[in-house]
Amino acid sequence: MIGRAWRVVVGFLASMRTAVGLLLFIGVWSMVATVVTQGADSSSSVIAWDATNPSFSPVVRWLGLHQAFTAPVFWAAALLLAMCTSACAWRRAKVARFRARALTAAAAADPLSPIQAPDLGIVCDPALSGQRALEIASGALERLGIRMRRRGDMLTAVSPAWSAWGSAVFHWALVALIAAVLVGQLVRSEGMMPVAVGQTLADVSASYALSNSGPWHYGGVATRSIRLDSFDPDYKTGGIDRGAVPTISVLDGAGEAVVTQRIYPNHMLHTGSLAINAPACGLSATLSFQDKAGAESGRVIRLVDFSQTATEGTSPIGLLSRRDSAGRILMKMSVTVPLDRAGQGFGEWIPKRPSARLHVTSADGGLLFDGIVRKGESVDLPEGGAVRLVDIGWFSWLSLVDDPTIPVIYAVMVVALVGLSVTTLARQQLVLVTATEGSEGVRLDVALRLWRNVPTSRGEVERELRRALGSDGKGSVS
């Protein structure tokens, strides 16, 4: 019973109809996904798409097409395709083993012995000798694109045994690739870390503004930290403007720089499985809090993103909360930096007269203070004490990806392409020709297997040989 069920399952997975059906499904699903707006159901772009397509919206939402490539339906199809590919790879391996054995045996065939069970037997023109028949056959096959070698009394054109393994290797590599991608999703960690110039942040989840870690991620190297050493808002090299370019150091547990590098497009920082990119930047405001006696009680760095739609050109990243010793919120503060005007918009640089707008509210949202503080100036806080704007500088949004499966994925891709190259380029052919002289004249025996990448066909070979050897209309066995 179990054995029968197993055979049914394996038969289904190994079925070409299943494989083609799944390829078709994934292809059509992907096509639809490029037409449907992708994103969370609550995102504004998705809501807008639903509003403009009310008739499709219920189906699209039910199928999960707004997150098409993380939808359970898609993953189920991809997983099933991986299982199908495994079954196909298994079959390809069996075929490859069979062909490789046949090729090896043909390559070692005794040139003096007649071919056992020939695929073609052609009775030649009686005027021809055995040697002449072989010469003519060699020429005819060469015209069809099969170059024959003479080995004793035998003509041979036998591909090397490895040529049979291309397809199997390709399919197994695809299985490994799918597996590596799946494992990658489980162990991978990626996130966006905002770091101001001079700031050093530990590579822990609290340092990230956004992060996404797979369940098997090892949690990061707790002792590793990232430092933004310097920032060039207009870096040029090789005659190309690279844009705003930060110089980043990755520090080990002892605070020693493991690697220091400028980061710009196509010049990411790599160390171990960690890759750091710097896709965006903004401004930072360093604030110094002073107690009632005027002594500095602490410093904070607040970050702002450039925003051409915001009133003064920047929008705050998060709110700063001040709490009392009991943990109650005393006030909330948001910080923006008014930018210089540039044409119709704002100049995305540090303003000529650096300042920050402080917007302070109480815990229940009542406005306590809203005003601009220039660099070096202080304002009194409602709770007592004061806050001083120390400096306006730069910060970088760093994109950190920690994925140890990348080298494996690269390696598997290379293996897959090598396998596919062998499948595409290497011939899989087995041609052996012998001539036997008997009472009826010369008979040409041909072992013929044209499996892959041969520029002719069995029918064409037979016709051409019969024509060349003058046996048209005469009996031939095949």
Q: What is the largest CA-CA distance in the chain?
A: 124
For residues 436 and 453, which CB has a smaller minimum distance to other proteins in the complex? Answer: 453
C-alpha distances (whole Å) from 165 to each of 172, 189, 434 are: 11, 36, 28
For residues 102 and 389, which CB has a smaller minimum distance to other proteins in the complex? Answer: 102
Give the shortest CB-187-to-other proteins separation in angstroms.
15
Residues that bind other proteins (CB under 8 A): 16, 19-20, 23-24, 26-27, 30-31, 33-34, 38, 68-69, 190, 238, 240-243, 264-266, 268, 275-277, 279, 399, 401, 406, 409-410, 413-414, 416-417, 420-421, 423-424, 453-457, 459-460
User: Which residues on neighbouring strands pair with residue 392, listed in sequence order?
Assistant: 285
C-alpha–C-alpha distance, residues 356 and 302, integer Å:
10
282, with CB counted inside 10 A (0-12, 13-18, 19+), is buried
For residues 53 and 436, which CB has a smaller minimum distance to other proteins in the complex? Answer: 53
- R_g of the chain, CA atoms, integer Å: 36
Centroid of chain to Cα 140: 48
Give the shortest CB-414-to-other proteins separation in angstroms.
8
For residues 38 and 260, which CB has a smaller minimum distance to other proteins in the complex? Answer: 38
For residues 342 and 414, which CB has a smaller minimum distance to other proteins in the complex? Answer: 414
Nearest-5° angle of CA 244, CA 248, CA 254? Answer: 165
Cβ–Cβ under 8 Å, residues 361 and 331: yes
For residues 167 and 334, which CB has a smaller minimum distance to other proteins in the complex? Answer: 167
C-alpha distances (whole Å) from 444 to each of 144, 199, 431, 448, 471 are: 18, 84, 12, 12, 11
C-alpha–C-alpha distance, residues 427 and 58, integer Å:
52
Give the shortest CB-355-to-other proteins separation in angstroms.
31
431, with CB counted inside 10 A (0-12, 13-18, 19+), is buried
Give the shortest CB-30-to-other proteins separation in angstroms.
5
Give the shortest CB-138-to-other proteins separation in angstroms.
20
For residues 34 and 55, which CB has a smaller minimum distance to other proteins in the complex? Answer: 34
Give the shortest CB-458-to-other proteins separation in angstroms.
9
Give the shortest CB-92-to-other proteins separation in angstroms.
10
